[in-house]
Amino acid sequence: MHALFVAPEFPANQMRFVSALAQVGARVTGLGEAPAHELPDALQSSLYGYERVSNVTDAGALLDAVRRVQAREWVDRLEATVESHVLTTALVRREAAIPGLSVETAKLCRDKPTMKAFLRERGIATAATRGVDSVEDALGFAGEVGYPIVVKPRDGAGALGTEVVRDDDRMREVLGRFAGQGFTSVALEEFVEGHEGFYDTLTANGHVAHEFISHYYPNVLEAMRHRWISPQIVVTNRLDAEGYDEVKALGRRIVELFQIGTAPTHMEWFFGPKGLRFSEIGARPPGVGHWDLYSAANDVDMYREWADAIVHGRCWGQLSRQYAAGIIAVRPDKDGVIDHYEGVDVLQERFGKWVIKAHLPEPGTPTQPVEAGYMANAWVQMRHPDYDELRHMLDSVGQTLKVYAR
């Protein structure tokens, strides 16, 4: 099989997808923005070929690169795993007659109001939403649904750019800021109260080969706005517990409705006073290094599982469900540069055997803002056979590990 892979050089974990494709027998041609001579040696060793693209989110430029490869030899697949590349890649697939995720599915996964309208029409419980391009439309939606209202880019990923608005004045202010950033249309959404988690799959030929359920502690919007919080994301190994049956059924139904053929998916959900509510889906792997957690928790290599799905149409790995696994982000006490840490030795002594990986930037490293995400500053990944014990350990990390800046 000859597979083209979009943006093999950035972000860093993209190289793992390329390597996995090569390991399962594919010839991989990269389509990226970096000059070929600047690619890391490890990446170059996994690539069969490389075409430079001025902008991988420009469908015309990406199509030109694909056509150059097709002029030389047959292309079986064209794959992208970054949210902002999914729709562009689908458009190019259609023009180049390459199998894979369809344009229709990619559009549904990117445009949140359209996505939710599609699912409501098919009986899936989700928040009321509307795409608006004027303050008047936004205030009209708020009058119908009531505050608070969630405001986000129509094609955003996760909590990126998301605001919770509680009155008309704040709505005008937020929409003005979005307009200043170049957004001509935004998505408004009814605020849904409840616990937030996600359901991820790796789907091969329309069949859910692997599935996972993870939890946010606390919910994302709260976690991304308060420095004092050390937020956690935890994947459960209790997937057969009765309480998860509804989540799994919902996720599988949405994968079916979206006609996901062979692709990873990432679906957010809420559970609260109104029951289980769908939030959104992306046709991509989860962020925050979560495939590394799935691999460590289940004694598999999720990148290779994905590559087998792409190249061979099926996954051979068996998930052990031996461990629950999670990540905790630890924020510096203020912005500046990292000065020193406290509690590292204590935690290593108590929990070292359960640590998967830890990232503690060197003193002198500039800090990143809280809203930059879970892996922007210090973080620790851990696993344990017992979900509740893992939660206790992650709590202890948040209480003991201190990051001081100057």
Per-residue pLDDT tens digits for 316-367 = 999 999 999 999 999 999 999 999 999 999 999 999 999 999 999 999 999 9
Per-residue pLDDT tens digits for 105-160 = 999 998 888 998 999 999 999 988 888 888 999 999 999 999 999 998 876 554 55
pLDDT of residue 162: 80
Per-residue pLDDT tens digits for 240-270 = 999 999 999 999 999 999 999 999 999 999 9
List where CATH 3.30.1490.20 sits in the chain: 128-190
CB atoms closer than 10 angstroms to residue 201: 23
pLDDT at 372 over 70: yes
Sign of CA dihedral 156, 162, 166, 168: negative
pLDDT of residue 155: 65
Calculate mean pLDDT across residues 215-233.
Answer: 93
Q: Give me the residue label for tokens 């079916």.
A: 256
pLDDT of residue 184: 75
pLDDT of residue 157: 53
List where CATH 3.40.50.20 sits in the chain: 2-100
List where CATH 3.30.470.20 sits in the chain: 195-405
What number does CATH give the domain 128-190?
A: 3.30.1490.20
Instruction: Indicate the angle between helix axes 112-120 and 245-257, nearest 10 degrees.
Output: 110
Give the integer Cα–Cα distance in Å for 19 and 47: 8
pLDDT at 43 over 70: yes
What number does CATH give the domain 195-405?
A: 3.30.470.20
Q: Supply the pTM of this predicted model.
A: 0.90
Give the integer Cα–Cα distance in Å for 332 and 341: 9
In 3D, which of 276, 251, 253 has the Cα closest to residue 266? Answer: 251
Calculate mean pLDDT across residues 299-318.
Answer: 97
More confident residue, 315 or 163: 315
What number does CATH give the domain 2-100?
A: 3.40.50.20
Question: What radius of gyration do the chain's Cα atoms show?
Answer: 22
